[in-house]
Chain A
Amino acid sequence: MQKGILLLKDGTVFKGIIHGKPHHSIGEVVFNTSMTGYQEILTDPSYAGQILTMTYPLIGNYGINHFDYESHGSVVKGFVVREMCSYPSNFRCDKTLDQFLEENNIVAIEGIDTRALTKILREKGSLNGAIIVGEPTESEIASYLKEIDEYTIKEPVYEVTVGEKETHVCDNTKCRVALYDFGFKRNILRSLVRRGCEVTVYPASTSAEEIIKTCPDGIMLSNGPGDPKDCKDIIENIKKLFQSGIPMFGICLGHQLTALAMGGDTAKLKYGHRGTNHPVKDLKHDRTYITSQNHGYAVLADSISPEIGEVSHININDDTVEGVRYNNGVFTVQFHPEASSGAMDTGYLFDDFVSLMVEKKGRSKKDAEE
């Protein structure tokens, strides 16, 4: 048993036991309130640069299996739990959580009063922090604090996007979708393929022209990590994609980037939304859905000009923007309709997207015939 600490920017120290691959690691400390789905969460590329805390105290109960990855591995900077289960039980389990973390070079710390930590993050907002192996001295802590203070997450999208474009075929293709990848979760891809879409994943560095010239039936803007305002080139590309008239659907970072491209604004939330229990109201249909979320930034409601679109969804806990419907049919949501982990209640948005593409195709075909 190797001792270690979690050190927060404000100097708070939590003592614990080190797991995974022991090394010092700095990141932005955030918390997720999901009770299941740690594997999906750990492999969600949107956590790049962050030290992830689970508020549910028993993590690792059902181990890790080779089906539930949301990307090839994990990019979190660290993992904080109250108790890590070393004897998982589930029919699909391949390995323990600890093994997975070690294989992915992730340091974890166990035995933390995660509730106390969460309250600090809730009150002070997401803070930088570090997992430090061993029992550092006062002076060591002081120097770590300096490093922690200076830490920023830099252009994380380019760290997690695919190296080159890749195409995923399906039987009986209804539509061809270009998935603009800022760190996509695999279930976005699966959700589209399952609905009869052939999906080509494009790296974040791809230009709008390159995508448009392939004449996709629709463009999917993926989720991803970091501050949307850092993605200046991508925003410019999205502007062009928007103007191309191709049906477009954005999730999470994709939603924020579209807003920025269309003249909207975003801001950092105090401590973000990370969990699977967020109530989102569809304003048009007056229905509230439970959604899965993972974001630190949000689109500002006032910044969406009626000339370009309207807020379609809000979070009923804090009234933040959860979705925008643009006048040209493009729609984007802040939450994760692909779920994984979390509630699958908003999967119908993928159906809407497919319908939009099919309809557009039909119209184009009719136009061509006429």
Chain B
Amino acid sequence: MPKNKDIKKVLVIGSGPIVIGQAAEFDYAGTQACRALKEEGLEVVLINSNPATIMTDDNIADHVYIEPLNTETVKKVVLKEKPDSVLPTLGGQTGLNLAMELAEEGFFEEHNVKLLGTNVDSIKRAEDRQAFKDTMESINQPCIASKVVHELQDALDFAEEIGYPVIVRPAYTLGGTGGGIAYNKEELTEIGTNGLRLSRVHEVLIEKCISGWKEIEFEVMRDSKGNVITICSMENIDPVGVHTGDSIVVAPCQTLADKEYQMLRSSALDIISSLKIEGGCNVQFALEPNSFEYAVIEVNPRLSRSSALASKATGYPIAKVATKIAIGYGLDEIVNAITKKTYACFEPTIDYCVIKFPRFPFDKFVKAKKTLGTQMKATGEVMAISNNFEEAILKAVRSMEIGTDHLEIKAHKSLSDQEIIEKINTCDDERIYAICEGLRREITSIEEIHKITQIDLFFLKKFEHIIEIEKQIQKNLTLEVYDTAKKYGFLDTVIERLSGKPLEFESKQGVYKIVDTCAAEFEAQTPYYYSTHDEVNESLRTNKKKILVLGSGPIRIGQGIEFDYCSVHCVWALKEEGYETIIANNNPETVSTDFDTSDKLYFEPLTKEDMANLIRVEQPDGAIVQFGGQTAIKLTKALTELGVKIIGTQLEDIDAAEDREKFDEILEQCNIPRPQGHTVFTTEEALNAAHELEYPVLVRPSYVLGGQGMEIAYCDDDIIEFMDIINIHTQEHPILVDKYMEGKEIEVDAICDGKDILIPGIMEHLERAGVHSGDSISVYPAQSLSDRIKNTIIDYTEKLAMALHVKGLVNIQFVVYKDEVYIIEVNPRSSRTIPYISKVTTVPMVDLATKVILGTPLKELGYGTGLYRESEYVCVKVPVFSFEKLHGVDASLGPEMKSTGEVLGIGKTLDEALYKGVVAAGINVKENGNVFISVRNSDKQEAVEIAELYQDLGYNIFATGKTANVLNHNFIAANVVKKIDDGENNVMDMMNENKFDLIINTPTKGRQPLRDGFKIRRKAVEHSIPCFTSLDTARAVAKTLEDKKRKKELSLIDITTLRK
């Protein structure tokens, strides 16, 4: 069937902020979808609240609304733009849920908006537990014994019937939020209650636990003609029980014979045929390892994280093809973008092995519960490709940037044998390393490990093989052993470490092979490469001028999708300037790793040795590191040593910004003040520094991202605790101890060409200094700065950019304390705020910076110099957290970044923008109700003013003893609430009974999990009660509520009109 001619204008719904369970993969999918629609000459309207995405660029869609993703806003967009259809299956669960709600309400029908792709009924049959079970039964597809319940008692009864353990899966939630395995009645009571609450439809599935079965996934597609194909099969190394997003996944399946493979493939295709899916779909199976018994676990009738992985693993552009199917094309009518000769209707076959490794945030959340289960905890992932499993997994491990370049972690070295065995018995993020350590020490066998973990012997044997090679290296490193080690993916540095001596042979490096969907059967047009140790190199160097752009690796807290945005824009700008562009990156969720983003894509770990090989083959004219976040910046030295010209700010200047002494010198020259501070290495030195500076002080390691390990210390005990945590990882660089100034934080991104600077805008943080810039609410344009302060900021920015010889982007953070401007830090690179500030000021920062780096003066670029004119709108960036997925993490704001994503609110006034931002972030603050206030002593006086604001809004005030006392003394009627240890009917009981609608709690200090505050904040997260841990946030939000009370109509802003 050819394209449906009735479709002219399509609304695409994005997935919103990055949270655990929904990451950059939907920017990849959404961007591909929008481009595919535009390619067909259709007008595209986009709504997404996430400003860090590429899809919200004004060149990706015709109309872009960075607005809250709720039914109210989507309705308004539909009424304004009048699209004839909506594409709901590319915006993750968020986009799908929204579309479903509006479809069920009849809104789309009423306004003649057609739902493209899979129809509502099919989506319901796949998403609704009972309907899904019935459908499966009707086509003889086995499901696991399960029952949908709406009441806890039914859950308990059913569990008695089928026997524990049981799995709890809430309906319509992301990444299995609120789910888990219950081994007994008590656990089921807890998990079940929580799951019911989190489900949009108050529904959970109670399911027989089949942990230990193989978990197999199929990514499949179907068109409206009924043609069905499989894109990729994937096997989870961790058996059923660990969420697939947290599992190490290998593609294609490794341990299935053709009979098992075809059985599951046919089942997947039967399922999508029966559900009448039109587009992409993911089917998850559990396969009993010793028979042909299997069960269908789940079907996702939309693009998912797995489809992004399948797409990158095979080279098949799933999102693009799914979009074309949605507008009417058959699979046999869509040309295969890779071969350009064949059609999209075929099954990719691959001639390599792909491994996906999840990236966990436990390096930041050291106290979080690390065990893995049915609730996803990973923030991102990496993918690695090789012609053998061993090399693929070693490449994956070193792509993770978790401080190891091999299947080992330092912390395990000091553990006893018994402790290692215990670690093998614990299903957490480190288990795979413990398995290797156990094999290395020969204290266990693969058979024993198999019994404990149920990991297939095939995989365990591969790990054992890696250990065998290690032992050969240690015994006698002959050339033959060296060749074997290289073939199976060992780095030279690892080989040297194991052999204990420098390499005596000429380093042997891999060749590059092409990812082509067809195992070389047809000539490929894709410049998508991976390295492997084989004979023939397929990556041929061209004679064009070429520049290497380093990507930013896996999504993690502190380094999110925004750096992918920057890398991609840099590539586009370089292409415009006539360069051949080469990207090196390893994140399968991103736009940068789409094969048509750059001229050449290398899917590689970002390490010195891997890059050395790439440089040997490509000999680029230069490399750009400033857009790939800390990942790329960290490689500057290595690249410089390899003789590559760094284009843009140079190594010594990047160093000068990080090196305390050099930086202090520069500040002195420029006459710019900064909070006093010292560099230290030991705890003793840190204590001395703190005493000299006087508490409070900021403690942090240098050369880190997202304020990793950064804390405010109020006393000696804090210093001791923080230093211990920082020193878990060996520190190559000194630790910084600075005086903490509780002032207003200001942030600036600027472009510098060596002569002039351009500042698109000055941003002001809502929370006072001390809250990490990534976690604070940021306002553009700055609202409360005097002209004198603004001029000082411009002056300092210019001086610093010049002194650091910045070429390209620079991000500077200031604190305004007692009406003086101090500098906190300078990052001579792109920052988290670049995408949003580019969009709202209409200054295409990465584009300009790239051109400046290549030599065009700012003055010739048409955006002027100095501070750019202010936007007529106010924009507020609000951070979004994933605390509900991470047990044991303190939900309070501090100097260490905790947010996983962000949203943007755009409005005519600060209050409107903030209100929209808060709503978009999913913070559901009622107009009135009960607020519970409990603040630290130093905040008590200030809390009076805040309480009054809420009292005026009509809130009833509740507070703990001392806080209530202060409030009542100041004529604010506050009800006293008992503390946790004060017996029944205390604060926790009241939260359990959902007595509070809002919580304002400022943390005392440190991260002691035993404190009341910590427990209250966790409880708030678990009960989805909004909780402000900074008085500044509480105050600002109260003001927005006043507006809401006045029922002001919210504005709706198409950001593509800002430029005009």
Chain B's nearest CB lies how many Å from the CB of A32? Answer: 9
Is B342 within 8 A of A316, CB to CB?
A: yes
Inside 8 A of B226's CB, which chain A residues have their CB? Answer: 287
Is B387 within 8 A of A57, CB to CB?
A: yes
Nearest 5 CB-CB pairs, A to B?
A37-B258, A116-B536, A89-B458, A277-B347, A55-B519
Q: How far is the CA of A289 from the CA of B225 in the complex (A)?
A: 12
Query: Would you mind naming 28 contact pairs between A and B with Cβ atoms under 8 Å apart?
Result: A31-B521, A34-B349, A35-B350, A36-B253, A37-B258, A56-B519, A58-B388, A61-B254, A61-B458, A62-B256, A83-B387, A83-B388, A87-B458, A91-B291, A113-B535, A115-B519, A118-B520, A118-B521, A122-B523, A275-B519, A279-B346, A316-B342, A317-B342, A317-B346, A317-B522, A342-B262, A345-B228, A345-B269
0 or 1 for each of A83-114: is its CB under 8 Å from B? (1 = yes) = 10101111110000000000000000000011
Q: How far is the CA of A68 from the CA of B265 in the complex (A)?
A: 18
Instruction: Tell me if A65 is interfacial: C-beta within 8 Å of chain B.
Output: yes
Inside 8 A of A31's CB, which chain B residues have their CB? Answer: 521
Is B387 within 8 A of A68, CB to CB?
A: no
Inside 8 A of B183's CB, which chain A residues have their CB? Answer: none
Is A288 within 8 A of B227, CB to CB?
A: yes
Instruction: Tell me if A349 is interfacial: C-beta within 8 Å of chain B.
Output: no
Is A113 within 8 A of B258, CB to CB?
A: no
Closest to A56 in B: B351
0 or 1 for each of A337-352: is its CB under 8 Å from B? (1 = yes) = 0011111110000000
Inside 8 A of B257's CB, which chain A residues have their CB? Answer: 36-37, 39, 62, 65, 68, 90, 92
A55, A288, A340: the one contacting B345 at CB < 8 Å is A288
0 or 1 for each of A37-70: is its CB under 8 Å from B? (1 = yes) = 1011000000000000001111001100101100
Instruction: Tell me if A152 is interfacial: C-beta within 8 Å of chain B.
Output: no
Inside 8 A of B522's CB, which chain A residues have their CB? Answer: 122, 317
Q: How far is the CA of A279 from the CA of B387 in the complex (A)?
A: 26
B229, B291, B350, B523: the one contacting A290 at CB < 8 Å is B229
Is A36 within 8 A of B290, CB to CB?
A: no
Beyond A82-B387, A87-B461, A341-B258, whether A33 also contacts B519 by CB under 8 A is yes
Instruction: Tell me if B331 is interfacial: C-beta within 8 Å of chain A.
Output: yes
Q: How far is the CA of A104 from the CA of B353 in the complex (A)?
A: 29
Beyond A290-B347, A316-B332, whether A340 also contacts B258 by CB under 8 A is yes
Q: How far is the CA of A82 from the CA of B388 in the complex (A)?
A: 9
0 or 1 for each of B325-360: is its CB under 8 Å from A? (1 = yes) = 000001110000000011101111111110000000
0 or 1 for each of B293-322: is its CB under 8 Å from A? (1 = yes) = 000000000000000000000000000000
Is B461 within 8 A of A89, CB to CB?
A: yes
Chain B's nearest CB lies how many Å from the CB of A85? Answer: 8
Is B534 within 8 A of A275, CB to CB?
A: no
Is A316 within 8 A of B520, CB to CB?
A: no
Inside 8 A of B230's CB, which chain A residues have their CB? Answer: 290
Instruction: Tell me if A286 is interfacial: C-beta within 8 Å of chain B.
Output: yes
Q: How far is the CA of A287 from the CA of B265 in the complex (A)?
A: 18
Chain A's nearest CB lies how many Å from the CB of B448? Answer: 16
Q: How far is the CA of A345 from the CA of B229 in the complex (A)?
A: 10
Beyond A118-B521, A288-B345, whether A39 also contacts B258 by CB under 8 A is yes
Interface residues of A in 162-209 (CB under 8 A from B): none
Is B291 within 8 A of A33, CB to CB?
A: no
Inside 8 A of A281's CB, which chain B residues have their CB? Answer: 332
Q: How far is the CA of A289 from the CA of B341 in the complex (A)?
A: 18
Chain A's nearest CB lies how many Å from the CB of B231? Answer: 11
Q: How far is the CA of A14 from the CA of B252 in the complex (A)?
A: 26
Beyond A115-B519, A287-B226, whether A55 also contacts B349 by CB under 8 A is yes
Is A55 within 8 A of B351, CB to CB?
A: yes
Is A91 within 8 A of B259, CB to CB?
A: no
Closest to B517 in A: A277
Inside 8 A of A277's CB, which chain B residues have their CB? Answer: 346-349, 518
Interface size class of B (residues with CB under 8 A): 35 or more
Q: How far is the CA of A341 from the CA of B258 in the complex (A)?
A: 6
Is B227 within 8 A of A275, CB to CB?
A: no
Instruction: Tell me if A119 is interfacial: C-beta within 8 Å of chain B.
Output: yes
Q: How far is the CA of A315 from the CA of B349 in the complex (A)?
A: 17
Q: How far is the CA of A289 from the CA of B228 in the complex (A)?
A: 7
Instruction: Tell me if A19 is interfacial: C-beta within 8 Å of chain B.
Output: no
B259, B330, B343: the one contacting A317 at CB < 8 Å is B343
Instruction: Tell me if A278 is interfacial: C-beta within 8 Å of chain B.
Output: yes
Interface size class of A (residues with CB under 8 A): 35 or more
Interface residue SS majority, chain B: loop
Q: How far is the CA of A336 from the CA of B458 in the complex (A)?
A: 31
Q: How far is the CA of A37 from the CA of B257 in the complex (A)?
A: 6
Chain A's nearest CB lies how many Å from the CB of B183? Answer: 27
Is A35 within 8 A of B252, CB to CB?
A: yes
Beyond A82-B387, A277-B347, A287-B225, whether A58 also contacts B535 by CB under 8 A is no
Beyond A82-B387, A316-B332, whether A343 also contacts B265 by CB under 8 A is yes
Instruction: Tell me if B490 is interfacial: C-beta within 8 Å of chain A.
Output: no
Is B389 within 8 A of A58, CB to CB?
A: yes
Inside 8 A of B265's CB, which chain A residues have their CB? Answer: 343
Instruction: Tell me if B266 is interfacial: C-beta within 8 Å of chain A.
Output: yes
Instruction: Tell me if B63 is interfacial: C-beta within 8 Å of chain A.
Output: no
Interface residues of A in 3-42 (CB under 8 A from B): 14, 31, 33-37, 39-40
Q: How far is the CA of A345 from the CA of B254 in the complex (A)?
A: 22
Q: How far is the CA of A40 from the CA of B266 in the complex (A)?
A: 18
Instruction: Tell me if B682 is interfacial: C-beta within 8 Å of chain A.
Output: no
Q: How far is the CA of A199 from the CA of B1000 in the complex (A)?
A: 80
Chain A's nearest CB lies how many Å from the CB of B283? Answer: 16
Inside 8 A of B258's CB, which chain A residues have their CB? Answer: 34, 36-37, 39-40, 68, 340-342
Inside 8 A of B252's CB, which chain A residues have their CB? Answer: 35-36, 56
Q: Max chain A CB contacts within 10 Å: which of B228, B347, B388, B538?
A: B347
Is B255 within 8 A of A89, CB to CB?
A: yes
Inside 8 A of A33's CB, which chain B residues have their CB? Answer: 349, 351, 518-519, 521
Closest to B289 in A: A91
Inside 8 A of B331's CB, which chain A residues have their CB? Answer: 288
Q: How far is the CA of A67 from the CA of B259 in the complex (A)?
A: 10
Q: How far is the CA of A61 from the CA of B351 in the complex (A)?
A: 15
Q: A65-B257, A83-B388, A317-B341 are in contact. List 15 more A-B contacts (CB 8 A).
A: A33-B351, A36-B257, A55-B519, A62-B256, A83-B387, A113-B535, A113-B536, A116-B535, A118-B519, A118-B521, A288-B330, A316-B342, A317-B342, A343-B265, A344-B262
Closest to B456 in A: A89
Is B259 within 8 A of A68, CB to CB?
A: yes
Instruction: Tell me if B457 is interfacial: C-beta within 8 Å of chain A.
Output: yes
Inside 8 A of A113's CB, which chain B residues have their CB? Answer: 534-536
Is A278 within 8 A of B254, CB to CB?
A: no
Inside 8 A of B352's CB, which chain A residues have their CB? Answer: 57
Chain B's nearest CB lies how many Å from the CB of A120? Answer: 10
Q: How far is the CA of A160 from the CA of B253 in the complex (A)?
A: 33
Is B332 within 8 A of A288, CB to CB?
A: yes
Chain B's nearest CB lies how many Å from the CB of A110? Answer: 12
Interface residues of B in 238-278 (CB under 8 A from A): 252-259, 261-262, 265-266, 269
Closest to A64 in B: B257
Closest to B460 in A: A89
Is B521 within 8 A of A344, CB to CB?
A: no
Closest to A41 in B: B258
Chain A's nearest CB lies how many Å from the CB of B348? Answer: 7
Instruction: Tell me if B898 is interfacial: C-beta within 8 Å of chain A.
Output: no
Q: How far is the CA of A340 from the CA of B260 in the complex (A)?
A: 11
Beyond A37-B258, A340-B258, A344-B262, whether A115 also contacts B351 by CB under 8 A is yes
Q: How far is the CA of A316 from the CA of B261 in the complex (A)?
A: 24
Instruction: Tell me if B546 is interfacial: C-beta within 8 Å of chain A.
Output: no
Q: Max chain B CB contacts within 10 Å: which of A68, A89, A287?
A: A89
Inside 8 A of B261's CB, which chain A residues have their CB? Answer: 36-37
Closest to B253 in A: A36
Inside 8 A of A34's CB, which chain B residues have their CB? Answer: 258, 349
Inside 8 A of B534's CB, which chain A residues have their CB? Answer: 113, 115-116
Instruction: Tell me if B700 is interfacial: C-beta within 8 Å of chain A.
Output: no
Q: How far is the CA of A58 from the CA of B391 in the complex (A)?
A: 13
Inside 8 A of A55's CB, which chain B residues have their CB? Answer: 349, 351, 519-521
